[in-house]
Structure 1
C-alpha cells in the first residue's frame, strides 16, 4: 500500500513524497492545491515559484475592492499546456506552499550531506 511522506502544508494545500514501506517511490514531489495535483522535480518547483513571483509583479489590483477574491491572475505552471486562474490570496498561498516545500527539501538535503561528512 502506498502512503505519503508529508513535506509541507498550509491553508491552500500540501506537498509530499509517495512512499511504500517507508521508501520514497519517486524522487519527485507531489504538490496538491485547489483540487489539482502536480508531480514535480525540485527544479520544476523552483520554476513554479518564479512563475508565482512573475504573476504577482504583473498586476496591481490594490485599488480594486475585490482584489483578494477576483481570479485575475493567470499563473503559469511547469506544464506548458496548463495555466491557472487564481486570486491574489490564492497566489500568495500557492507561492508560500511552494517556497516552504523547497525550503524543507533543501534543508533536509543539507542536513543529510552534513551528516555524511
Structure 2
C-alpha cells in the first residue's frame, strides 16, 4: 500500500497527497469525508470551495429553524455529474476541511518557493 502525506484533518475527514516522488510536486489532492473520496487538482479544490460558499449563502434561512439538523442540502462539486446531499453541519465541516487544505497548500508553496531565503 502506498504511503500518504497528510495535508489537513478535522472531525469529518482528511485531505492528503499520495506519497510523492523525490523532488516532484503532487498535483492532486485526495479528500475523504463521510464515505466519499474525491480526487481534486488545486484548481478544482478552489472551485469546490466556491461552490460550498454558494451553498451556505443560499441556505441561511435555516439558521433559526428547529429542523436544521435534519435538513439536507444539495452541494455541487467541480465534478459535473456529482452532487452531494449534506446537512448544514456537514457542509460547515466540509468548508473547514477544504479551507484548511487550501491554506496548508498555499503555506507550503510559499515556504518552499517565495519565502525561502
The question of a shared fold, defined as TM-score above 0.5 by the shorter chain, is answered with: yes
> Equivalent residues in 2 for 1:1-117 (5 A)?
1-19=1-19, 26-59=26-59, 60-71=61-72, 73-113=73-113, 114-115=115-116, 117=117
- Give deviations 1:42-67, integer Å, cap 9, x for gaps: 11111101100000011221232121
Q: Runs of 5+ in structure 1 lacking a partner?
A: none
Q: CA 1:69/1:10 → structure 2, altered by over 3 Å: closer, same or farther?
A: farther
Q: CA 1:87/1:15 → structure 2, altered by over 3 Å: closer, same or farther?
A: same
Is the 1:51–1:76 contact (alpha carbons within 8 Å) kept by the matching residues of 2? yes
Counterpart CA distance in 2 for 1:6 and 1:22 is 16
Q: CA 1:23/1:10 → structure 2, altered by over 3 Å: closer, same or farther?
A: farther
Counterpart CA distance in 1 for 2:27 and 2:63 is 40
Counterpart CA distance in 1 for 2:104 and 2:86 is 25
Is the 2:20–2:26 contact (alpha carbons within 8 Å) kept by the matching residues of 1? no
Q: CA deviation at 1:23?
A: 7.1
Mean Cα deviation higher: 17-26 or 57-66: 17-26
RMSD: 1.8
Equivalent residue pairs, number = 115
Q: Runs of 5+ in structure 2 lacking a partner?
A: none
- TM-score (norm. length: structure 2): 0.90
Q: CA deviation at 1:40?
A: 0.4
- TM-score (norm. length: structure 1): 0.90
